[in-house]
Chain A
Amino acid sequence: MNLFTRIALPLGLSLLLATPAVAAPPALCSRWTIHDPSRGFPSGRVYEVVLDEGQPWVATDNGLATLEADAWRVIGPDQGLPHPEVWGVAVAPNRDVWAATAGGLARLSGGRVDVFHTRNSGLPADLVYDVTLRDREVWVATAGGLARLDTDTGAWQVWTPANSPLPVGTLQQVQCRGPEVWVATFGAGLWRLDEQGRWQGFADPDGDARLDRKPADGLQHDAPTTLLVRPDEVLVGQEIGLSALQGDQFSELLPLSADPTPGGATLPAHVLSLAAAGPRLYVGTASGLLVREAGGWLVYRERPGGLRQAVEYPAAVPGRAPRAHAVESPAPCGAIRSLAVGPDELWLAFPGGLAHCREEAEAPGWPPAAPPATVTAPGLLFPRDHDKLFAASASRDDSPASPGLVAAARIGLLLPPDGRTVAATSFARGAQRSLDGYPGGARWGRERLPIQLVTGHVPDLPWEGLAAQAALDLARRQKIQLLVVVGGGTPVAQLEVAQLARQIGLPVLLLGSDEPLLPHAGSGWVTTLGWSVRAQLRGLIQRLRTVGPRRLVLLVDDSRYAAAGEQVLAAELAARGLSLAGVVRHRRGQPLLATVQELSLLSPDALLLWAPGPAAGELLRALRAAGVGCPCFGPSALASAEFLGPAAELAGGCTVGLTVRRRPEFVTVAPEPWSAASGDPAGVWEQLGEELLYWLVGALVASPTLSRSEVAATLRTVLPGWSFERLLPAGNGIGGAPFGVVRGGVVVPE
């Protein structure tokens, strides 16, 4: 063996192997073409888009649409489609198009529409949520189970909870990989059917429906939002992240264990859609588009006016700074319900229509490495090394009247007089705007509050659970000692935070929750404000009694927290002589029409919406479209146009939550909105100020990490005008404070 083979060759090989792969930058989409009703597209609601050799097929609530010769052709009921609501679409190798609709399964072939429904086929339910193809087999996910149609023989095979381990019949998505079939359920995890007909389920082992307590132990969430089956892995999108299953091993792609940016920015993690093109993975979220490649992430972020900014995060090259690209003609909205990727093009389904982009030439390479950015947070509330006060609003309700946001502003009260800031991160969209919109500005009394809300780290809050998840994440990394969660929207998220806090031993000040729900939190470290929910409930029931409904139906978000709320509601209603004719649970991600149909069957003469989630507005719109015209009652959250979103396009230009005047059959109960003219007629501000202090003191005292003297010192520092006679040991704050605060500076024990 010569010198070359003995030394040079191994050395060369090792050098070659040691050379890091050059990260290929992702292609950039900066010019989007929008297809919406104003441009001839048949619908503003797109459920799915798929590409067949460059031809898009789009499932909408107004039929199936395809682009032919630069014009949209629509196949709807007039052409033989069983229902205008098309929820899924798949194109076969023979170019037959299969459509999953609310009225059955349809096949479009050469202009003919063949319909399969429960009356003429083995389809287990007429609500068909998804369709996929494998060779000659058509697999459909329905409201009654999974079904397979052998197009060769015409034979159907059906799997329902009656003949399989499937815990629910409502299946939202189905995909195939070789002989395996993967099914995403509505709220009952992920299931695999193998070649031998055996089922295997994958769920969230921690049993928590919204929080992922232990990373990579399974699904993050029992309710997958989307599914992508690839040859080597199964990707499961959820409302709180993206999981990958390789073999039997789970890993988490989102949320990232370490932020790709030194600034601590967090990538959107409410995954709604997935697509892949070779090694490139496209993740559509509720607040933007993520493109993952070997070199890192390319993130299209939602900004006012749409996805205006594309930021490269070079995860593979530590220390390199992200680089932002302007998107010239952006897609209008960040909530991406479906994705379709062609060789050089990208289609996005957003609330309002479709966006199309032909990917341009490869973006320039990653920028040179930059020194890591430093973050300074000089808050001095806690005189330890843990110097940050973290305030997370657990509410999407960013109306000016939101008690959560008002309470967030009160955090400023705790700031020392020298004006040093506390880094308070709000996860509520529009929090800053709300603060600025408050009549007094960010002020306490006559003084401007020295508060700086750092917003934008998580620009969107798809639902409250994400806030808790993000809070957990930040709390871990930034060593936060006290977590202040404010919000008056749904109390369930606050309970999640409470549970979360118990896990990590973090004291939490929970504001705006409702006391009767707290036993479900099981935490000894929770204090409550107990203001908003009860107030709303009382007002709501009062309104209801004036109507005197005979068939009052409760529509709730289907979660175990909502179930707790349901108990409270039922008790409150019963105490006031009202009873429920039925309860309808709307599962997250479930097509609205299914819920609407279920509601219709109950023939309600009044509808009570409670914690129906972000889909409330859409649901109301669907109810109206379906002719369910009974009066609706809802909490104050429904009064928020922001919350309702697409519902603003209701007939007559009414927004559902604000229809008291124009649609008298719908009544919302909400505090009077703030306005410069009205000031603070209800005295909410004053009330909150008192209660905030009350509970903050309680939380400080309850903190296991602060000594009593430290708490006392802190209180004296931040409340110099107050006196504290005695601080009692922390007790169980549930249902009341361990001690009281009396205006004038006297702390009265017990």
Chain B
Amino acid sequence: MTTSSSSGPAPAPPRPAPRRRRALLLLLFGGLLVGGLVLWLRQQAQDHLAMTLRDPAAGFGACWDCHGTGQPPRPLPRQPPAPLGLALLPGGDLLVGATGDDSLYRLDPARARIRWRLDVGPRPHGVAVVDGGARALVALRDADALVPVDLAAPRREEPIPVGREPTAVAVAARWGIALVTNSGSDDVSVVDLPTRRERYRLPAGREPYAVAIDPQERLAVVANRLVSPHAPRTPPSSEVTVILLGKRPRVLERRQLPSIHLAESVAITPDGQLALIPAMVTRNLLPTTQTRRGWVAASVLVVLELAERGRIVPILLDGLDDYHADPTAVALEPAGRFAYLASGGRDRVLELDLAKLRRLLEGEAADVLQSLGTRLGPGTLLLARRFPTAANPRGLAVAEGRLYVSERLADGVAVFDLAAGTLQHRFALGLLGGPSLQQQGEQLFYRASAYQGQFSCRTCHPDGHLDGLTYDFEIDGLGENFVDNRSLRGLVGTAPFKWTGLNPTLDVQCGPRFSRILGRSRPFSDAQSAALHVFVNALPTANGRRPPVDTPEVRLGREVFYRTRTRTGELIPVRDRCPSCHPAPTFTSQTRSRVGTGAQSDFTDVFDAPHLLDLRDGLPYLHDGRAGSLMELFVREDPAEHHGRTRDLDRVELNALVEYLRTL
């Protein structure tokens, strides 16, 4: 028998070879990586679905549900979302109206994720929450409607027709109504919520753009963006419309804001005593030589006391060389201690101390308060903090220690932690990839780059349109050649530009000449100019966004427009016929002619034939803005009948002609 004897300690268990260890480690890391990737992809897929699917209630399927062959057509490629209106839900979620991709987003700020995206209709602007957070009301600017959205489903419900180009909505639950500002028809719709019908409208100022209701639901305050129609070369003023709420809401008062315009937002303090309206000061009667001193365009916060004979105190927001260009939004902290003001041209939000503001109002004399719109100090003293944002902040909301900012041209929603004063999160709603050339042009358009950042292209052309003012450019003499601002909509194929038609291209119009005359800053580069032109050329007309109007009056007006003989059968010379100077489709012959509209202050009476698109919103008329209406243009401003043959028209035909022109 053989015995074995141990010859030493037992051998240690075999250790995995280093290669195996590495393999295991790799496996472990790989698993973690794959798991993370799966989770990330899942989140991305959910966001993708939320953003892309037109009906989120359809649920998640497979990628090839949408991307395979033989399937129903894919959703159209989305436009950049361009978020604008914000509304907070009771649970803390945030609703975002996106004007670019016609969507309503529901964001979950606590989990930093997008819950869903819903197509609601063309250009959703303002958003409000009703039914305790169960529904939202979204103002569709291009559908002229207010659309209720069931937030649980989520589902779009039957739209409620309102006025033209609705921009904002506010709800007075106590009275069962919603107020909608119709910027295109210059009125405010009173919508009955139980029946979901527009009850009637209240005339507002020109382009009512924002509305706020006080917490007690006694009053509503409407901010109107443009100045009211006024006599030529007189100081303009815009209107703040105060509405008395009740069973039958009515306009209680119309406060005039002298030389102030472009108010796009309004907020009321929790005690209902003050309304805050960020706006621009305009002194268009001064020659533009005064621009460098901040006299022609400046940013103010208008403080309106909501009481009988309450004061109106404008407070300058601009610093010495630090401008709050193009103020776009205001929001209040629920406790009413701070106000937040967004600058659409300077991409930032200011935090103002309202306690200081109240002390200012209580302590200063009336004449001092009235001068605050031109004094650099007080606005700076009220300033608490600045929050930098991405491009073109347009909507603000404050709740639970967070400040939400919709960054329209960055396609994002920023969430700031107010306690820390830092950016907490930024929702990216846009598509992958950088901004398109058109988006770049739009960003340039809205960026305040002129005069050390005092103003932007948008300052005179809000939404690419006009501000209803006439200006005195020093390039052609002071106190001479006043020019009415012209819309930039529908410019394609309408060159030359300028009332005198001296600028053959947009490059000339907006390039170095613009920098020399207005911007006083480095001109746009070629690439920037190209982008800007792409954007400007893409600006659609308001009428072009709507179905054509075809009424008997319009048909008759078209006949009158294209007529070749007078009522008595006399042949109208070709040069005196409307289409000779205003041929379709752009309604301009792109030529210059003398039509008897020159004034003593003009150095020429030869003008470019302007296009006739969007005349409906083009008040005032003629090169110096002297005609307050289209009818006035015919019956008063053309006594010698140099501007076409209209004297023989009877009232019906003349009226029809005007109605036709309003539809172009």
Please tell me which one of the listed residues B251, B652, B662 contacts residue A162 in the complex, with CB atoms under 8 A apart: B652
Given contacts A124-B651, A162-B650, contact A152 B631 (CB under 8 A): no
Determine if B185 and A152 form an interchain contact, defined as CB atoms under 8 angstroms apart: yes
| A158 in contact with B652 given A118-B635, A119-B636 (CB within 8 Å) | yes
Cβ contact within 8 Å between A155 and B553:
yes
Q: How far is it, in angstroms, between the C-alpha of A119 and the C-alpha of B651 when the chains are bound? A: 11
Q: Is the CB of B652 within 8 A of A95?
A: no
Q: Please, how many angstroms separate the alpha-carbon atoms of A119 and B638 in the complex?
A: 12
Name B186's closest neighbour in chain A (CB-CB). A154
Q: How near does chain B come to A140, taking the closest CB pair, in angstroms?
A: 13
A288-341: which residues lie under 8 A (CB-CB) from chain B?
none
Known A109-B251, A110-B250; judge A120-B629 contact (CB<8 A): yes
A157-B553, A158-B652, A158-B655 known; A95-B628 Cβ under 8 A: no
In the complex, A14 has a CB within 8 A of chain B: no
Determine how close the nearest CB of chain A comes to the CB of B575; give it in whole angstroms: 26
Q: Establish whether residues A94 and B200, one from each chain, have CB atoms under 8 Å apart when the complex forms.
A: yes
Residue numbers in B under 8 Å from A412 (CB-CB): none
Residues of the A chain whose Cβ atoms lie less than 8 Å from the Cβ of B157: none
Which A residue's beta carbon lies closest to that of B553? A157
Nearest chain B CB to A26 CB, angstrom units: 30
Contact (A156, B250) CB under 8 Å given A118-B631, A119-B635, A120-B629 = no
A163 at the interface (CB under 8 A from B): yes
| Interface assignment of A136: CB less than 8 Å from any CB of chain B | yes
Determine the chain A residues whose CB is within 8 A of the CB of B361 once the complex forms. none
Q: Does B190 contact A (CB under 8 A)?
A: yes
A119 touches B652 (CB 8 A): no
Taking the complex as formed, is B147 at the interface, i.e. its CB lies under 8 A from any CB of chain A? Answer: no
Q: Which residues of A contact B628 (CB under 8 A)?
A: 120
Interface residue? A114 (CB, 8 A): yes
- The smallest beta-carbon distance between B467 and chain A, in angstroms, is 20
Distance A144 CA – B241 CA, assembled complex (angstroms) = 34
Contacts of A114 in B (CB 8 A): 203
Task: Determine how close the nearest CB of chain A comes to the CB of B330; give it in whole angstroms.
Answer: 23
Contact (Cβ within 8 A) B652 A110: no
Question: Once the chains bind, are B253 and A111 in contact (CB under 8 Å)?
Answer: yes
Q: How far is the CA of A114 from the CA of B163 in the complex (A)?
A: 19
- Cβ-defined contact, A120 with B632, below 8 A: yes
Contact, CB under 8 Å: B201 / A160 = no
A743 at the interface (CB under 8 A from B): no
Q: Does A374 touch B at the CB level, under 8 Å?
A: no
Residue of B nearest to A118 (CB): B635
**In the complex, are the beta carbons of B203 and A107 less than 8 A apart?**
yes
Contacts A107-B203, A160-B652; A119 near B252 (Cβ below 8 A): no
Answer whether residue A641 sits at the interface, using C-beta atoms and an 8 A cutoff.
no
B631 touches A110 (CB 8 A): no
Minimum CB–CB distance from B652 to chain A (whole Å) comes to 5
Complex contacts, B241 vs chain A, CB 8 Å: 110
CB pair A94 B250 closer than 8 Å? yes
Within 8 Å of chain B (Cβ to Cβ): is A386?
Answer: no
Nearest Cβ in chain A — how far from B540, in angstroms? 20
B199 at the interface (CB under 8 A from A): yes
Contact B163 A152 (CB under 8 A): yes
**A residues within 8 A CB of B202?**
94, 96, 109-110
B254 with A111: CB separation less than 8 A:
yes
> A110 touching B251 by the CB < 8 A rule?
yes
1/0 per residue A139-154: CB within 8 Å of B? 0000011000001111
- A95: shortest Cβ distance to chain B, in Å? 4
Residues of A within 8 A of B249 (CB): 94
Q: Mark A107-130, 1 if CB is under 8 A from B, else 0.
A: 101111010001111101100000
A residues in contact with B654, CB < 8 Å: 122
* CB of B309 within 8 Å of the partner chain: no
Residues in A whose Cβ lies below 8 Å from that of B253? 110-111
A94-B202, A144-B651, A160-B652 known; A155-B659 Cβ under 8 A: yes
Of residues 266 through 294 on chain A, the ones whose CB sits less than 8 Å from some CB of chain B are none
The interface centre, meaning the residue of A114, A136, A152 with most chain B CB atoms within 10 A of its CB, is A152
- Asked whether any CB of chain B lies closer than 8 Å to the CB of A92, the reply is yes
* Interface set, chain B 613-639, CB cutoff 8 A to A: 616, 628-629, 631-632, 635-636
* Chain A residues, CB < 8 A from B254: 109-112
User: Which B residues touch A53, using CB under 8 A?
Assistant: 248
In the bound complex, CA of A156 to CA of B553 (Å):
9
Task: Please name all residues of chain A whose beta carbon is closer than 8 Å to the beta carbon of B187 when the two chains form the complex.
Answer: 151-152
CA distance A260 to B403 in the complex (A): 79
Q: Which residue of A lies closest to B554 (CB)?
A: A155
B127 within 8 A of A: no
Which residues in B have their C-beta under 8 angstroms from that of A163? 652
A237 to B293, CA, bound (A): 68
Shortest beta-carbon distance from B547 to chain A in Å = 13
- Interface assignment of A93: CB less than 8 Å from any CB of chain B: yes
A119 touches B631 (CB 8 A): yes
In Å, the complex CA distance between A389 and B254 comes to 69
Q: How far is the CA of A163 from the CA of B662 in the complex (A)?
A: 21
- Write out the residue numbers on chain B whose beta carbons fall within 8 Å of the beta carbon of A152: 163-164, 185, 187, 201
A122 touching B201 by the CB < 8 A rule?
A: no
Also in contact, A145 and B651, with CB within 8 A (given A109-B203, A110-B254, A122-B658) = yes
Specify which chain A residues have a CB less than 8 angstroms from the CB of B652 in the assembled complex.
124, 158-160, 162-163
In the complex, A197→B249 CA distance in Å? Answer: 34
* Cβ–Cβ contact B631 & A94, under 8 A: no
Chain A residue at smallest Cβ distance from B251: A110
Evaluate contact between B659 and A121: CB separation under 8 angstroms: no
Residues of A356-413 at the interface with B, using a CB-CB cut-off of 8 Å, are none
Among residues of A, the one whose C-beta sits closest to the C-beta of B556 is A163
A111 to B654, CA, bound (A): 31
Chain B residues 469 to 495 lying within 8 A of chain A, measured CB to CB, are: none
CB <8 Å contact, B650 and A160 = yes
Compute how far the CA of A162 lies from the CA of B648 in the bound complex, rounded to whole angstroms: 13
Q: Which of B200, B251, B551, B629 contacts A121 (CB 8 A)?
A: B629
In angstroms, Cα B248 to Cα A109, docked, is 14
Interface string of B180-201 (1 = CB under 8 A from A): 0000010100100000000111
For B201, what are the chain A residues with a Cβ–Cβ distance below 8 Å?
94, 136, 151-152
CA gap between A120 and B633 in the complex, in Å = 8
Which residues of A from 435 to 487 have beta carbons under 8 Å from B?
Answer: none
Kindly list chain A residues whose C-beta atoms are within 8 Å of the C-beta of B651: 118, 122, 124-125, 144-145, 158, 160, 162
B203 to chain A, nearest CB (A): 5
State how many angstroms separate the Cβ of A488 from the closest Cβ of chain B.
Answer: 45
Report the minimum CB–CB distance from A691 to chain B (whole Å).
54
Point out the residues of chain A lying under 8 angstroms from B658, CB to CB. Answer: 122, 156
- Closest partner residue, chain A, to B242 (CB atom): A110
Question: Given A109-B203, A111-B254, A136-B201, are A93 and B631 also a contact pair (CB < 8 Å)?
Answer: no
**Closest CB-CB distance, A110 to chain B, in whole Å?**
3
Q: How far is the CA of A197 from the CA of B551 in the complex (A)?
A: 12
**Docked-complex contact B655 and A92, CB < 8 angstroms:** no
Question: Could you say which residues of chain B place their CB within 8 Å of the CB of A122?
Answer: 631, 651, 654-655, 658-659
Please determine whether A93 and B200 come into contact, CB atoms closer than 8 angstroms.
yes
Interchain CB contact under 8 A, B251 and A95: yes
Chain A residues within 8 Å of B650, by CB: 160, 162
CB distance from A287 to the nearest CB of B (A): 38
A230 to B203, CA, bound (A): 29
A120 to B634, CA, bound (A): 9
Bound-complex Cα distance A616 to B241 (A): 47
Residue in A125, A157, A197 with the greatest tally of chain B CB atoms within 10 Å:
A157
Given contacts A111-B251, A120-B631, 6 further A-B contacts (CB under 8 A): A94-B250, A110-B241, A122-B631, A124-B652, A151-B187, A163-B652
Question: Ordered nearest first, which 3 A-B pairs have the shortest CB separation?
Answer: A110-B251, A95-B250, A122-B655
Q: Which residues of B contact A (CB under 8 A)?
A: 163-164, 185, 187, 190, 199-203, 239, 241-242, 248-254, 551-553, 616, 628-629, 631-632, 635-636, 650-652, 654-655, 658-659, 662
> What are 16 A-B pairs with beta-carbon distances under 8 A?
A94-B248, A109-B203, A109-B251, A110-B242, A110-B250, A110-B252, A111-B253, A112-B254, A119-B629, A119-B632, A121-B629, A125-B651, A151-B203, A154-B185, A156-B553, A160-B651
